[in-house]
Amino acid sequence: MKIAVLIKQVPDTETKIRIKADGSGIETDGIKYIISPYDEFAVEEAIRTKEKNAGSEVTVISLGPDRCVESIRTALAMGCDKAVHVQDGGQDFDSFQTATLLSQIIKNQGFEVVFTGKQALDKDSGQVTQMIAELLNWPQVTVVEKIEWQGNVAKVTRRVAGGAKEVYEVQLPALLAAETGLNTPRYASLPGIMKAKSKPVEKLNAADLLAGATAKVTLSNYRLPPEKAPGRILQGELDKTIPELVKLLREEAKII
């Protein structure tokens, strides 16, 4: 089985975000970057699928600047076999452009199943998987929390509102977008880290893969959300504090 996994390098969730003075984006100096957490589930599932299907191969693909090779090497150390780094040339692509150039690679290299995270933790749009599927005319399932293989058919369980589950049987080729709980991503072992240094990383230019796609969305006027008001602690006997709590919830918080 020829498997691909798409990853995105994003700021660590513990990073303190600073907005540029002109509101055009965030300051990138001093930021620690990581693989987007949902993409880590996708990497783990791609490797597990390879291990269950003898002769399979996993290619990790990422779009971004030179620094994203660090995240690519992490995925290789976890167990992916080779990589494609799509160099962005300093441009910031929207979801449609990203989906267009990634779909070109998937089509050109003949992958049978592609794993992604359900969304990236920076822009949080959750659109790229669906757009790639549309461009390739492939089936796709998002928010996937369980996968069972029956030959070239994936029996996929996804979470929906209210705790309900949906189960799909998807014929390959297909895209599957990972949700929390799908698996527990493995840590890269020391031998894996050493092997990753010699695994091949193919370099491609994003501009060569856009196929004329232009941005449909432009982000501007970045702002931080307003700071939350400090919490309050009510002290005293319950017969006095409970009425006060109810009053605050009704008149200040306005949630009852």
The first and second tokens of residue 135, run together, are 């461009």
- Give burial (CB, 10 Å; 0-12/13-18/19+) of 126: middle
Least confident of 10-24, 78-92, 164-178: 10-24
State the average pLDDT over residues 230-249.
89
pLDDT in tens, 4-22: 999 999 999 888 888 998 8
For residues 134 and 125, the model is more confident at 134
The span from the CA of 167 to the CA of 147, in Å, is 10
Omega before residue 243 within 30° of 0, cis:
no
Q: What per-residue confidence (pLDDT) applies to 5?
A: 98
